[in-house]
Structure 1
Amino acid sequence: MYMKRIILILVVAMYGLSVQAQFSSAKLQASGLTCSLCSKAIFKALTAIPFVDKVEADVATSGFDIAFKEGGNVDVDQLKKAVTDAGFSVAGLKIQAKLDEVAVKNDAHLTIQGKTFHFMNVKTQTVKGNVELTVLDKNFVSAKDFKKNAQYTKMKCYTTGVMEACCNKTASSAGTRVYHVTL
């Protein structure tokens, strides 16, 4: 019995952690906007995404509050693509996730809705319930912040955005997209 527990712990550690979770909303900060028509272009692009339920724009701050459809398979890159296809860039993205109880720490991987999230600059802790994940990847933060955030990991996947040999082997394999986040 004791040996089975050790083997189970090792398997979970080697393959990462997959949890039942649901993304409910996001706060997207866009850059490059100069007028309300710019905001309208992003608004239209975001509302056209299948998993987006509702978008509220704040012209004064270039911010967008996005509500996701229940059960929708949220794709962070698709949000960014909608903004860039409208001619602008993402300056920040914070996603609200409802998580089961899960332990997180620096360089830990967590699979949510089939996507791998790599935690950076976090204290070892257990989180549960509604959690805000801030995306730290290139093209989701300024170049200055991207460079600054690189100090929080030595893993190559942060600079490439895909799983590398340095990453723990999870359900994802080398070359698969990985999102870098912090709490």
Structure 2
Amino acid sequence: MKKINNTYIIVASIILMFSLKSTAQIVKAEIRATGLTCSMCSNAINKQLKSMPEVANVETDLNTNTFTVTLNESNNLSPKTFKEKVEDAGFFIGSLLITAKPELISNGSYILMNTNSNKSGDIKFQVLDKGYVTEKEFKKLSKSNKDIATYSANNEDDFHIKFIN
């Protein structure tokens, strides 16, 4: 009887271990930075982004100041990580577009501002909070979303998102 109980415990442990492994992850981030004046500025951001072990590749477009960050699987990054890295380099995010597994937005930190995503597979969305859009855009969004309590609260752990088709 003891051997059977141990077998159940081992099987239950294995099932629990695999169920805890989250597939909710960011696949790619497209960051448009503001405040850059030269290639050395973009190099500073590039170095900050590449310093993360979860980053597989960073592509830079100097014409648009856009950094496309491709991530390794099984990462647990949030938009806040990208904001911190860009700010550590001395710059700001003008827009942040994220491609992610659909399960990511079910964790409670993501608040949908629209619901028109009928796409299967990875989803793409823009983060609309302060620090993830330009100051001018944030003021406009604040006025149009003044009735949404979580938006005006400006909690750094809540991410208000809009699906991009």
TM-score by length of 2: 0.76
Equivalent residue for 1:182, pick from 155, 162, 165:
162
Equivalent residue for 2:138, pick from 136, 141, 146:
146
Q: Does the Cα contact within 8 Å between 2:146 and 2:152 map onto a contact in 1?
A: no
Hey, which of these two has a bigger chunk of strand by percent?
Answer: 1
SS of corresponding position for 1:139: coil
Cα distance in 2 for partners of 1:161, 1:129 equals 30
Q: Does 1:117 align with 2:110?
A: yes
Q: Does the Cα contact within 8 Å between 1:99 and 1:127 map onto a contact in 2?
A: no
1:50 Cα deviation after fit: 2.8
Give deviations 1:45-73, integer Å, cap 9, x for gaps. 01112322211111111100000110011
Letter of the 1:149 partner, please give it.
L
Q: Does the Cα contact within 8 Å between 1:25 and 1:65 map onto a contact in 2?
A: yes
Runs of 4+ residues deviating >2 angstroms: 19-22, 123-128, 159-162
| Percent of residue pairs identical | 34
Letter of the 1:182 partner, please give it.
K
Q: Does the Cα contact within 8 Å between 2:23 and 2:74 map onto a contact in 1?
A: no
SS of corresponding position for 1:84: helix
1:159 Cα deviation after fit: 2.5
Larger radius of gyration between Structure 1 and Structure 2: 2
TM-score by length of 1: 0.69
Which runs of no fewer than 5 residues in structure 1 stay unpaired? Answer: 1-18, 101-109, 163-175
Cα distance in 1 for partners of 2:43, 2:73 equals 25
Alignment of 1:45-60 (within 5 A): 45-60=48-63
Q: Does the C-alpha gap of structure 1 residues 153 and 126 become closer, same or farther in structure 2, counting only changes over 3 Å? A: farther
Q: Does 1:35 align with 2:30?
A: no
User: What RMSD in Å do the two structures reach over aligned CA positions?
Assistant: 2.1
Equivalent residue for 2:123, pick from 131, 142, 148:
131
Alignment of 1:52-91 (within 5 A): 52-91=55-94
Which runs of no fewer than 5 residues in structure 2 stay unpaired? Answer: 1-21
Hey, which of these two has a bigger chunk of helix by percent?
Answer: 2
- What is the total number of aligned residue pairs between the two structures? 140
1:147 Cα deviation after fit: 2.0
Q: Does 1:155 align with 2:148?
A: yes
Cα distance in 1 for partners of 2:119, 2:110 equals 14
